[in-house]
Amino acid sequence: MVDQVLLIIRSIDRFTDITGRAISWLCLVMVVMTVVVVVLRYYFQSGSIALQESITYLHGLVFMLGIAFTLQRGGHVRVDIFYRGFSPRRKALVDLLGGLVFLLPVSLLIFIFSWDYVAASWAIGETSEERSGIQGIYLLKTLLLLMPATLMLQGLAEILRSALVLMGKQPIAEQQIELHHIEPLI
């Protein structure tokens, strides 16, 4: 049983790690595109609405799809003045309760309440208000469903990991290695 749970945790972590690393490269793309927009505007008195909107789309992708990666890395917001002094078992208890009471329910509510909004956007094939803008706003709005889905998935891994620590089925040292096994992005 523990082996299957560990396999699930590792699979989710691997998925989050791969997608998070891929998405992190979009930050570099956004910087380059911003420089291009500035150079076009101020040096060539030219511009592109689609290029400007694409930066907004990329920002949305990075933020909305990078949130699970941030959770995996322990980069989410918490009251650290208490948490950092806790024992590993107490940290696991806080993470387990936080995931069950806050993370999963809030993510599920975001998903549920966003569904009709995203579906309506897809139904009309919502496009940019600008004639030369990006014509796929419905794709951007789909992130409102993908974000809570990936967050719930990684939240499940964090909850399972914490439960294993609390049950004494996963050594605390292994848990700490699992959480911080990933090298720097660039």
pLDDT tens-digit map of 72-103: 998 887 667 888 888 989 999 999 999 999 99
CA 33 to chain centre: 22
CA 174 to chain centre: 24
pLDDT, position 82:
82
Categorize the per-residue pLDDT at 130 as very low, low, confident or very high, splitting at 50, 70 and 90. Answer: confident
Q: Distance between CA atoms of 36 and 51, rounded to whole angstroms?
A: 9
Q: How much of the chain exceeds pLDDT 90, in percent?
A: 74
Residue spans per domain, the chain: 2-179
Alpha carbon distances (Å) from 178 to 3, 67, 99: 15, 18, 18
Write down the pTM of the prediction: 0.84
pLDDT, position 171:
54
Q: What is the mean pLDDT of the chain?
A: 89
Residue 3 is encoded by which pair of tokens? Answer: 């082996």
Among the listed residues 83, 99, 31, the one whose alpha carbon sits nearest the alpha carbon of residue 59: 31
pLDDT, position 77:
74
